[in-house]
Amino acid sequence: MAEGLAREFYGIEVSVQSAGSLPSSVNPMAIQVMRELGIDISRQTSKSVDIIDAGKVDTVVTLCAEEVCPLFLGHARHEHWPIRDPATCSGDELKRRSVFREVRDEISNRIKDL
């Protein structure tokens, strides 16, 4: 969601890359709640931080709370946002969608302040 929000907010002015320590797939619930804002992240892929060229990165934002944050070596500015992973939320679909929306909105607000 962060990648899609950053691309939407910054447009072509900023090169946005998203990666993690344990890449998997883009969560279908994330795709749904981003569609609510008119942002399509269905073509995004989950990537490993190992593929990012640290020499070409100005700012790194880590979004981890309870999980292990990926280690990113380089001289980039580092922002840490301890935001929970909405995919770890339990409950019915309505509850999980609500958590995804909360996380989406928190990330959006932080990107605007970045």
**Structure confidence by residue, pLDDT tens digits, 13-44:** 999 988 877 777 899 999 999 999 999 999 99
Q: Are 98 and 33 in contact (CB under 8 A)?
A: no
Q: Output the pLDDT for position 73.
A: 64
Q: Judge whether residue 51 has pLDDT over 90.
A: no
Q: Would you tell me how many other CB atoms lie within 10 Å of the CB of residue 51?
A: 9
The residue with tokens 């989406």 is 104
Q: Output the pLDDT for position 28.
A: 95
pLDDT top residue among 7 and 51: 7
Answer whether 0.85 is exceeded by the pTM: yes
The whole-number average pLDDT for the span 45-52 is: 83
Burial 14-25 (b: 16+ CB within 10 A, else e): eebebbbeebee
Give CATH superfamily name and number for 2-108: Response regulator (3.40.50.2300)
Q: Tokens in use for 83? A: 């935001």
